[in-house]
Amino acid sequence: MNDPRLSALLATVPGLRLKTGPADLEYYGRDWTRRWVPAPLAIALPADAGEVQAIVRWANRHRVAIAPSGGRTGLSGGAVAANGELVLSLERMNRVLAFDPIDRSLTVQPGIVLEAVHQAARGHGLLYPVDFAARGSCSIGGNIATNAGGIRVIRYGNTREWVAGLKVVTGAGELLDLNRGLVKNASGYDLRHLFIGSEGTLGIVVEATLRLTDPPPPSNVMLLALPSFEVLMQVFAVFRERLQLEAFEFFTDHALRHVLAHGGQAPFGESHPYYVVAEFAAGDDARQAAALAAFEHCLENGLVSDGVISQSDAQAAQLWRLREGITESLARHRPYKNDVSVRISAMPAFLAEAQSLLAREYPHFEVVWFGHIGDGNLHINVLKPDDVDEAGFVSQCAHVTDLLAATLQRHGGSISAEHGIGLVKKPWLDSARSAAEIEVMRGIRHVLDPLGIMNPGKLFDPPVPPGHA
């Protein structure tokens, strides 16, 4: 603790928990992207909003950059601290503060893990519907900072739909109480929504009031085998028209093979090029019959070649594992990740173009496709061959991302659907946002974080680099 800035911090916030050991700097300095070498100044673990505010004010006085930190499960480098930042970890602020049965809301601290939010809602007979594979590690603060999506967006929307109130400490050190859980509030700009998806560049969420909804209907899960990519959107149209879909997720045989190599159970006797996991409401005989009829219609028309339907919760979980295990099963191959979106109606044309582009550009690399096809969101993971060096691989992938970004732009899409821009996709922000839009974002940032201390280098470069104001 020789750094005088840290001594000043401890003098300002007596009792603040600070970590500076090499193992902690390494652990808290990186996220799931694994591409940057962690080099934070220290790790601060505040106990409450007052301590967060005091830290931000200290950071302004000493021109220290802050990297807000939740579960660090992000895939765009948004929580990386590679440049002497103070990591502000919210992991100790992880409690449920209140439940209101009339408002049907849960007020929580930002460090609470998503799964604990699910459990708290369930404990009150309700549902917090945002859900994805990292549920056991990611925190609600990070979900809000990235407007996290996941596997149930098709039915419930993104995190944004579920945030009824936010308390935030801005980059200037002000505590703002935004929207206070109101359903209607026509009193000017809704600043809450600026913070949702801001990737830690405007301030820090210190409390969130989340909307809850009715418990999910009894559901079934079906795994479908598809003969070709071209039929994918047709199968989606049939299922969406005839069933109440809770999820509709797609993956390729490449993806499945990695999950199986990782301990998953083969669903069919033979392999098929493409698969879909569909979850749908199935509480009564009529719904069950509709699901089977949808499947048979697809089978008769050559849109699917095989299928299984879950007969128990355990079997449903097993089918889901084939989709949810993909990211983990690919991690060993240090994949270059793309997380792109287009409007659902633009999907068939975009898919055809993107497929031929990637086949042409990556003749010797394995490309794994999967994602939330019903939201127009695809994950494209390019696996690094063992004999190719990391720097060369990343630069080749960056070149292909230039081409992919141009394709997306032509189809009106986005270079980041749900993972955020962070460090990884920063070079391509201008393919998804116009120059005028980026200027407005810079202006907003300047108002809320005038010295540019909040997560600098992420999303876009701050107007004033820390230390130069």
Q: What span, in angstroms and rounded, lies between the C-alpha atoms of 188 and 142? A: 26
Which backbone phi and psi does 48 adopt, to 5 degrees?
-160, 175
25 or 224: CB nearest ligand 2HG: 224
What does DSSP assign to residue 178? E
93 or 368: CB nearest ligand 2HG: 368
167 or 337: CB nearest ligand 2HG: 337
Site string for ligand 2HG, 68-107 (x = CB under 6 A): -------x--------------------------------
Q: Does 201 bind ligand 2HG (CB under 6 A)?
A: no
Residue type, 113: V
Q: Does 327 bind ligand 2HG (CB under 6 A)?
A: yes
Q: Does 416 bind ligand 2HG (CB under 6 A)?
A: no
Q: Binding ligand 2HG by CB under 6 A: which of 337, 384, 411, 458?
A: 337
Q: What span, in angstroms and rounded, lies between the C-alpha atoms of 286 and 298? A: 18
CB of 332 to ligand 2HG, least distance (A): 13
- Give the CB-nearest residue to ligand 2HG: 327
256 or 290: CB nearest ligand 2HG: 256
Q: Which of 208, 202, 140 is nearest to 170 (CA)?
A: 202
Q: Does 135 bind ligand 2HG (CB under 6 A)?
A: no
Q: What span, in angstroms and rounded, lies between the C-alpha atoms of 241 and 260? A: 32
**Cβ atoms of residues 380 and 340 within 8 Å:** yes
Q: What span, in angstroms and rounded, lies between the C-alpha atoms of 53 and 43? A: 16
Q: What percent of the chain is helix, strand and coil (3-state, nearest 5)?
A: 40, 20, 40
CB atoms within 10 A of CB 247: 23
**Cβ atoms of residues 171 and 448 within 8 Å:** yes
CB of 331 to ligand 2HG, least distance (A): 8
151 or 166: CB nearest ligand 2HG: 151
133 or 404: CB nearest ligand 2HG: 133
Q: Binding ligand 2HG by CB under 6 A: which of 133, 145, 204, 397?
A: 133
Residues 368-397 interacting with ligand 2HG (rule: CB under 6 A): 371, 379, 381
Element housing 431 (H / E): helix 429-432
CB of 367 to ligand 2HG, least distance (A): 12
420 or 456: CB nearest ligand 2HG: 420
**Cβ atoms of residues 219 and 260 within 8 Å:** no
CB of 437 to ligand 2HG, least distance (A): 24
Q: Which of 109, 135, 125, 129 is nearest to 48 (CA)?
A: 109
Per-residue b/e over 107-125, b at no fewer than 16 CB within 10 Å? bbbbbbbbebbbebbeeee
Interface with ligand 2HG (CB under 6 A):
75, 133, 327, 337, 371, 379, 381
